[in-house]
Structure 1
Amino acid sequence: MADQHLPKSHAAKRAPRQDGENTRFHLLDVAGRLFAEHGYLGTSSKDICLRAGVNIAAVNYHFGSRDGLYGAVLVEAHRQVVSQESLLAFVQSDLGARDKLRGLISHFVAQAGQGEKSWGFRVVLREMMSPSPMASTLINEAIAPKAGIVAGLMAGYLNLPISHPAVQRGMMMTIVPCITMLLGPEGLRTTVLPALNPTSEGLVEDMTTFVLAGLDALAAAHAS
């Protein structure tokens, strides 16, 4: 094995670090599933450690507290719904601003319905419906960085400074429908508004047409 070729001191140092990272990830995953099922108030550190098969002190050791663990769960949950890497892929591509926005909308549409298969989707939905004391962690560490990425793309399209109010408003009117599709209950897409089914023909084209027409009007209204 690889560790046989390392000095004993190196192997000894590396093994605990790897074990610690594995335990931390395992706790995060188990906690995410329990928080998704029972919510913030219905899940204790004891519940998590029993399910994870670790010592009760593991939560405090790896996350500082139950709230620290829940904060980490919220950040990972939001990553499962929409990752920062996927947003950066659009912003950093060689496409023009119009095609980047089209691609972003298409990405959100494709994700609709997929998130329900992950515990992250259910955790974020619970947190939105009933905010916990850790809601600021979700906003500051997960949502804000991604919003900044989209705001930069929006500012470029509108040809306005990123601090301009129209950038934030345009972003809201573009992203909120996408979030509704991502986090709305399945019945909304299959029963009430079946034309919002991700596989519905023409959905991306119609959404893109609507969004870009609105953004073009905003850009014209605020042109200097």
Structure 2
Amino acid sequence: MARKTPRKLPGRREDGATTKAQILEAAGEVFAEKGFDRATGKEIAERAGSNSAAVNYYYGGIEGLYADVLVEAHRRLLTYDKLVALAESPGEPTEKLKSLIGLIARRITGPESSSWALRVLSREILSPSSAFPVLVKQEILPKKLVVTGIIGEILDRPHDDPVVTRCTLNIIAPFAMLLVGNKQIFTQVLPGFNSGEPEVQEQIVEHFQRFALAGLAATAAALRSDDH
């Protein structure tokens, strides 16, 4: 996704970083509300209080802006640096995975679930755009390697072992479902699943942790049995 070389805007101020950040925030809100296909650079610039040419100047066009919004949205869910710090911290890999599950589950089931970042990711998962490969390359794959490394430690298998891959899918799938799911539909189909109250949210978090770790323990036991 090639970006155009920025051209100088008439009367451009030196607080370009602030303007660029304002455009990204406004874009995140518009993309969350309308999706990539129905959003326009003009509306985004107006909402950001910027010149209509600012989207092209700072992002090379609406496609480049959307790619940056996707990357930022994923970082707001979980940054690579925070994930690496967790993986490299002292302690057992099971405790690291438990902390990771808790972190993500609280983000997705808590107040942040209504943020533009999670809504943009939800739209992209349901209908991938041409910017999806950028998100995969910059955020998803690097983070996946860290997560599969933790799970591989638990199972005593390489990070790219098929068993590790399957377990990673099992652990990630509920979060993807929560991300794209409509809360009203969830409460109708699964009336006991309501994360509105902090106490209930913690029960959900603990359940996800317990379920994932129990599944990994059972898988590890099966692998040891097969090895003998």
TM-score class, shorter:
0.7 to 0.9
The answer to whether 1:143 aligns with 2:164 is no
Name the counterpart of 1:26: 22
Find 1:95's aligned residue among 91, 98, 118: 91
Contact 1:81 1:115 in 2 (8 A): no
Residues 46 and 56 in structure 1, CA contact (< 8 A), matched pair in contact too: yes
Cα distance in 2, alignment partners of residues 218 and 110 from structure 1: 26
Q: Name the CA shift for 1:83/1:190 in 2 (closer, same or farther; >3 Å).
A: farther
How far does residue 170 in structure 1 lie from its aligned partner after superposition?
Answer: 0.9
- Aligned-residue CA RMSD in angstroms? 2.2
Offset at 1:192? Answer: 2.7
The answer to whether the 8 A contact 2:106-2:205 is kept is no
Post-superposition shift, 1:59? 1.4
Separation (CA, whole Å) in 2 of partners of 1:169 and 1:24: 40
Of 71, 74, 77 in structure 2, the residue corresponding to residue 78 of structure 1 is 74
Rg larger in structure: 1
Indicate if the aligned counterparts of 1:105 and 1:207 stay in contact, CA closer than 8 A.
Answer: yes
Give the letter for the 1:142 counterpart. E
1:92-143 superposed Cα distances (whole Å, 9 cap, x missing partner): 2222111112222222232213333311111111111222111111222222
Secondary structure of 1:116's aligned partner: helix
1:153-206 residue CA offsets vs partner (Å, 9 max, x unmatched): 111111111121111111111121133234422225544324443433643443
CA offsets, 1:33-86, max 9 Å, x none? 111111111111122222222222221221122110110011111222333344
Paired with 1:92 and 1:159, the residues of 2 have a C-alpha distance of 17
State the distance in 2 between where 1:107 and 1:97 align: 15
Indicate the SS of the match to 2:110.
coil
Cross-structure match for 1:210: 211
AA matched with 1:218: T
Aligned-partner Cα distance in 2 for 1:159–1:197: 36
Gaps of 5+ in 2: 1-12
Of 181-190 and 144-153, deviating more is 181-190
Gaps of 5+ in 1: 1-14
Match of 1:127 in 2: 124
- Cα distance between partner residues in 2 of 1:82 and 1:172: 18
Contact 1:76/1:120 (8 A) holds in 2: yes
CA distance in 2, matches of 1:63, 1:168: 35
Look up the SS of the partner of 1:132 in the other structure.
coil
Contact preservation (8 Å) 1:80, 1:115: no
Alignment partner of 1:35 is 2:31: yes
Query: Does residue 57 in structure 1 map to residue 58 in structure 2?
Result: no
In structure 1, the residue matched to 2:150 is 153
Q: 2:173 aligns with which of 171, 176, 183?
A: 176
